Structure 1
């Protein structure tokens, strides 16, 4: 698809009792659009390509955003899955990808697995090296590896209100910890609790779609929580199907860029100041943003979307250089 350059004039609003102020234009470029396919997650490769998971199949895709136009190719098919969700780097060119038999807003309980996919730099195709079953969950969502043990991944059980731990060396899956802050709570319209996951410093950060929170737990080297949850920011209205946090990414300064359904990317600073960074209720750029990844050079973010009635899932590049000061 040809590239579409979009200059977006957005309003920044400070969530907790602050006045609205104007923001400079944000440059966004649509790189790719799937046809009738929901993109769930994206992850940067060292060579600049972007791994993509979708809810349309068990296929893992790689997008080259530097080609003109951007090119995409299937790099692996993960057997036994009809939809894929989280991605995490295991180091040494290996990646963990969660998947299973996909249904609406969940997976068939007992069908979920963590696949280990080898993506050597000199090889454009991925190779499925292992498939680890994860019992007793119907929604493995965001996934992240531990810094000191990158072969161990943590995954959000969005419905069960738990953080799962999968050791890809021993092939053992267990519960790292459970907490009410991770579940959907009393929200009857949004069934997913903890969604995106990232480790930064000694903390596990997460979004909770149903509770409308961006929060963190302190964790140890094994991914066990060592203290209470700290809510950094929250939505200013109750979460709903059309108003909910999804996945997110940090920039090098510690600002989080959070996908917000149905049409925005919010920026949350380390001290909890939240603004609309790009898109918004009057914008037509993002069609259900689902995930965010920081480009390898730190100068832009990539946003994936689920699409809507007329658009398929998109990949959009957004410049963060002028606003990240």
Structure 2
């Protein structure tokens, strides 16, 4: 795969944190204007699943092909958007569908559903089925896998985490911490992205502009209080994120139009790709590392194209899948 380096523009000096070099990026694919890609999951074979928030559609794209093109996998007739997605067992994924819209981000009461997307061996055509409904949830967003039968779901509006058994369809609130709550400026976007590393659950809160972590028990309940790992120095609304093998977090900064790396202990805190007034990474929403020998150091990033916060005040592009080459990235 070919990557092209980008220069550091003078306006980057207005953004903190800083880095002396930006990672090379490559546009894998850009959807038509008006498309917001909300989340992604990378299959072990290297192809990427994309959920769309501006329509209830699931796409598959192979970023390692010569000319990547998205393949439409499924339209969810009972929903208006798709958000979080997580792999539960090899090549079996679960995602959130609900009756929310980009203009009115609080879904209709009772519309949150979890669907199973299961790929048979050597197939790109998944079997899709309903796994659970959550009538009491408000705005399910980020997902992560607790174990082979249970996923954890961030409820951005309630400011809690649900545990959902994908076999029995039963669900319950397992985490409720002040660092998960929404705020007055973003009343529907508190806790957002979730990632589990061992017994430590990392999460972002868009309203509070922070990355935090909390120790949890095997059933998903709290083993302590949540603590702040890092706060956004610019006030950018942290969205979803990826964790690398070191435990560093790579956060989508939303209107910051960049990817910010935060060490496992909160340091360093540096921008490694993108720039606030560029459409290179236009309003990033989520990130995940590649899984093949060819792209393990590549961070795949989805974007909203500036729909919620136009780039440089007035520029909107289509939702993007961007590859960020972190191999050899210089870290301060």
Alignment TM-score, normalising by the size of structure 2: 0.88
Structure 1 unaligned segments of length 5 or more: list them.
none
Q: 2:259 aligned to 253, 265, 280, which one?
A: 265
Q: 2:65 aligned to 64, 67, 70, which one?
A: 67
Could you tell me which residue of structure 2 aligns to residue 58 of structure 1? 56
RMSD: 2.1
Give, in whole Å, the separation in 1 of the partners of 2:316 and 2:123: 35
Report the CA distance between 1:92 and its aligned residue: 3.6
Could you tell me which residue of structure 1 aligns to residue 239 of structure 2? 246
Q: Runs of 4+ in structure 1 displaced over 6 angstroms?
A: 12-15
Report the CA distance between 1:14 and its aligned residue: 10
Give, in whole Å, the separation in 2 of the partners of 1:253 and 1:177: 26
Give, in whole Å, the separation in 1 of the partners of 2:158 and 2:225: 18
CA contact (8 A) 2:201 2:216 kept: yes
The total of aligned residue pairs comes to 312
Report the CA distance between 1:222 and its aligned residue: 1.0
Q: Which has the higher strand share?
A: 1
Change in CA separation of 1:324 and 1:217 when aligned onto 2, cut-off 3 Å: farther
Report the CA distance between 1:22 and its aligned residue: 4.9
Change in CA separation of 1:22 and 1:183 when aligned onto 2, cut-off 3 Å: closer
Could you tell me which residue of structure 1 aligns to residue 272 of structure 2? 277
1:102 counterpart SS class: coil
Give, in whole Å, the separation in 2 of the partners of 1:12 and 1:145: 38
CA contact (8 A) 2:163 2:220 kept: yes
Residues 1-325 of structure 1: pairs in structure 2 closer than 5 A: 5-9=4-8, 22-35=19-32, 36-103=34-101, 104-146=104-146, 149-185=147-183, 187-189=184-186, 191-237=188-234, 239=235, 243-262=236-255, 263-273=257-267, 274-296=269-291, 297-308=295-306, 310-323=316-329
1:90 counterpart SS class: strand
Give, in whole Å, the separation in 1 of the partners of 2:169 and 2:263: 37
Give, in whole Å, the separation in 1 of the partners of 2:326 and 2:167: 37
Report the CA distance between 1:7 and its aligned residue: 1.9
String of CA shifts for 1:245-270, please: whole Å, max 9, x gaps: 00000111111100002111100011
